[in-house]
Structures are given as C-alpha cells and as structure tokens.
Amino acid sequence: MPDYREKLWPNAWAFIVTALVIPASILVLVPISLFAGIVTAVVLYGGCVLLLVLAAPVVRVQNGELIAGPATISTRLLGEATAFEKSEATQERGPRLDARAWLLIRGWVDPVVRVPIVDATDPAPYWIISSRHPTELAAAINESRTANVG
C-alpha cells in the first residue's frame, strides 16, 4: 500500500506578515506604557505563530484512506486524482470551483490536487487539497485506489 504524508506548514511570509502585530501593539499601548506595549506585542506575535503552527493540517494516504486535515475518506470511494500547478491550480481554486466541493486549501501552498468522489451519497462532487507535492499526492491516492479495488 502506498503511504504519503505531508504537513502544510506556513511559508516564511506568513510569519513575516503576522509580525505586523508587533508595531501595531506597541503603537496602541505606547501612550500607556512602552513596557506594556512590548510585552503585549511579544505575546500576540507568539500567539499568532503558535496558531499558524498548530493549524497546519496534515494530508496523508495510509491504509486505504485519504486523510486531509479533519476529513477522512476511503480511497475506494475516490476517482482518478489529478494534480494542478500554477495557473491551472488557480483555475481549480477559482473559476472552475464547484461550490459543493470540499476544500483543504492554504493560501501559502499554490498547487492543488482534485480528487473526485464516486460515492453517490456524498454531497461533495470532489475534494480540492493543497499540496506542495501534488504529483506525488495524486499518485499515492491513485495507487491506493487501485490497491483497494476488489
């Protein structure tokens, strides 16, 4: 059985952008106390970093299941997974997106994998999953599908 695991860690720019809470906190609190502003800034930025790290989802293909963040589905219920990069990934996340699709997308991960759901009782027609290695993820899903047929 193919195994695949990827954690969708934030890029460096996500940490840099959230660092804007530092000058904002200091600016707001400096009329009261510079020390309070610095302490608040450090605590807020630490909280932002902690949230970014803890909220990074895991995408895994293991034991005939696709696990994407909080969702799990048997690979027997999946169609042929397809990897998309660059402008095609943008199209999949935007103009071609079906509102019923289940999404695990992160703004800091551009490529996506589209995974059709062949279960007629599932309200989602497909899943869109962000992946830094979309070709490998699609291959792992497709190999697991064929291994689980029968």
Shared domain check, 75 and 122: yes
The per-residue pLDDT for 89 is 97
Shared domain check, 87 and 127: yes
Instruction: Look at residues 105, 110, 42 and name the one whose alpha carbon lies nearest to residue 71.
Output: 105
Shared domain check, 67 and 44: no
140 lies in some domain: yes
The per-residue pLDDT for 146 is 85
The per-residue pLDDT for 149 is 65
Shared domain check, 42 and 83: no
Q: Which residues contact 49 (CB under 8 A, 6 or more apart)?
A: 15, 18
Q: Which residues of the chain have pLDDT under 70?
A: 1-2, 149-150
pLDDT in tens, 76-87: 999 999 999 999
Range of the domain at 23: 7-53
The per-residue pLDDT for 2 is 59
The per-residue pLDDT for 11 is 94
Shared domain check, 142 and 79: yes
- Give the SS3 label for residue 95: coil
The per-residue pLDDT for 150 is 57
Shared domain check, 132 and 113: yes
